[in-house]
Amino acid sequence: MGIAEGLVAWPDELAKRYREQGYWNGMALGHYLWRSAELFGEKEALTDGERRLSYQQLAALSDGLALGLAERGYRSGDCMVVQLPNCWEFVVLLFACARIGVIPIMALPGHRSHEVSYFVEHSGARAIAVADEIKGFDHQGMAREIARGSNAVQDVFVLGENVRTGSVDLGKLIVSPRDVNGVRHRLDEMGPCSDSVALFLLSGGTTGLPKLIPRSHDDYGYNFRQSAEVCGFDERTVYLVSLPASHNFPLACPGLLGVLYAGGRVVMARSPEPENCLNLIGKERVTVASAVPAVAQRWLEAKIQKPHYDLSSLEIIQVGGARMAPELASRVRPVLGCTLQQVFGMAEGLINYTSLDASEEVICETQGKPMSPADEVLIVDDHDVPVPDGEMGQLLTRGPYTLRGYFNAPEHNARSFTAEGWYRTGDVVRWHSSGNLVVEGRTKDLINRAGEKVSAEEVENLLYRLPSVAQVAAIAIPDKNLGERTCAVVVMKNGASNLTLAEVRSAMEGFGVAKYKFPDQLELVESLPTTNVGKIDKALLRSKFS
């Protein structure tokens, strides 16, 4: 079965308008790569440790890999779960997929078999691409196990030293073709339509399992082009990727794709650790870095403790993914010596940026304005009626780069979109007098743990697998380092013996769940309080255990 059945398209009239007005320019992501190679040729595009690739090399290597994949039978519309650390091969693989229309599913390095097997099943993926290991975890072993249990998976592509028999060595497929131009033209013929799905991002998730977010070449191209424009990216930009590159933020807001479009240079960091990143900023003369608030806070602390870090090249730090306390925001310029740009975005689409030349008040206290003139924003009450200007309400949005439906999820779509196609973001916001949005809270039931979104329902479902658990509520508790941490409030079954946090966490590990979803705190109670409509009163629990 192809993936077309699971997609929700923009209405024809609107699609036509987005094309006519140039938001959608008809270019597939692979064309962006060659466009940049023509414009910036020998200029350095990508830095990963000692490895440095020019635009021309990046394009040639991506084509080499695309050809290798095509020769193994991969075609437009096939899905591949991609789970790699931040490295140059990640970028090459992404473009190789784009060249032949293979659709990567952008898994995070932290995901484990619970998540990866679900992505495989849900998309019918024909391949999984992983590193041999990351931080001691055997990704290759995990991927092979999942592949064994699937009828669809044909190959496990492995990057690293230790490629076992039966896996395909991804590194060996990354070679420049001898006849670069010939291959380029052959691949052009195999290129996907610009309105087809370029990649699947993962939803922050408010349901039991994460949803797949289809992003088309047209809409994603616009996402990073417009972002690069708004953020002033150009050939001088040197951008540090420190968050996992599969996240929309470092990928396309403007992210590495926006940098490569603008002719700048992408510097890959393996992790957001302050020591590593602050050294890289100095060494590579980084001009723009992006971070979640929890990471930005650690960078600030590190710079205060060790003032010798040379951050003189840094012009902008973009911070988003979770609420940034105004107090932290106000320390950015004095400590790091650069401009803060708040980014309020979502993998589903809508991105808001504070202007680089906005007042200190706007930069510190708002989350920016929608980046596109074609973004539509409504702030509504519980009955979907718009609230008076300046008042808080739920944010609904539509636009040329905001999805119309999750992949293969009709029931969930009926709840997440209005009949007129507005996406219900689940965020509670208001307009600031400056015309920027302020994020005040949310209606969706998740824990925003250092920018990673943890679905309360998913954690609860997992905990119900424990024999001693009668009832459970997962709630977000304010945390000074993470922003929020996950607390599981549990009612034990009659006669069950004690349960500890360590036991809960080790059970989660046994289920093969990503570690960032493990509860950080456990509270045992006699019963869970309910509201007058009979729902668990999470607000009350939150105030009790904060």
Residues that bind ligand OOB (CB under 6 A): 204, 248-249, 253, 320-323, 342-347, 351, 367, 425, 427, 439, 442, 453
| List of residues 6+ apart from 160 with CB closer than 8 A | 131, 132, 133, 140, 171
**Nearest approach, Cβ of 253 to ligand OOB (angstroms)?**
4
**Nearest approach, Cβ of 223 to ligand OOB (angstroms)?**
9
Shorter beta-carbon distance to ligand OOB: residue 428 or 540:
428
Distance CA 221, CA 29 (A): 7
Shorter beta-carbon distance to ligand OOB: residue 102 or 296:
296
Strand residue runs (E) in 294-336: 316-320
Strand residue runs (E) in 347-445: 349-353, 369-370, 376-380, 393-398, 423-431, 437-442
Shorter beta-carbon distance to ligand OOB: residue 160 or 451:
451
Shorter beta-carbon distance to ligand OOB: residue 85 or 345:
345
| List of residues 6+ apart from 443 with CB closer than 8 A | 394, 426, 427, 428
**Nearest approach, Cβ of 320 to ligand OOB (angstroms)?**
4
**Nearest approach, Cβ of 406 to ligand OOB (angstroms)?**
12
Shorter beta-carbon distance to ligand OOB: residue 214 or 320:
320
**Nearest approach, Cβ of 428 to ligand OOB (angstroms)?**
9
| Amino acid of residue 399 | G
Shorter beta-carbon distance to ligand OOB: residue 217 or 323:
323
Give, in order, the Cα–Cα distances in Å from 347 to each of 22, 149, 247, 310.
22, 29, 8, 33
Distance CA 227, CA 42 (A): 25
Nearest CA-CA partner of 35 in 200, 312, 263, 236 = 263
Shorter beta-carbon distance to ligand OOB: residue 166 or 326:
326
**Nearest approach, Cβ of 435 to ligand OOB (angstroms)?**
16
Shorter beta-carbon distance to ligand OOB: residue 328 or 469:
328
**Nearest approach, Cβ of 205 to ligand OOB (angstroms)?**
9
Distance CA 203, CA 407 (A): 11
| Residue least distant from ligand OOB (Cβ) | 345
| Amino acid of residue 306 | K
**CB atoms inside a 10 Å sphere around CB 333:** 15
Count of alpha carbons within 13 Å of 130, Cβ hemisphere only? Answer: 29
| List of residues 6+ apart from 178 with CB closer than 8 A | none
Shorter beta-carbon distance to ligand OOB: residue 41 or 441:
441
Count of alpha carbons within 13 Å of 538, Cβ hemisphere only? Answer: 18
**Nearest approach, Cβ of 342 to ligand OOB (angstroms)?**
5
Strand residue runs (E) in 109-196: 127-131, 155-159, 168-169
Q: Inter-axis angle of helices 293-305 and 326-336, to 10 degrees?
A: 40
DSSP string of 216-259, one letter each residue: EHHHHHHHHHHHHHHTT--TT-EEEE-S-TTSHHHHHSSHHHHH
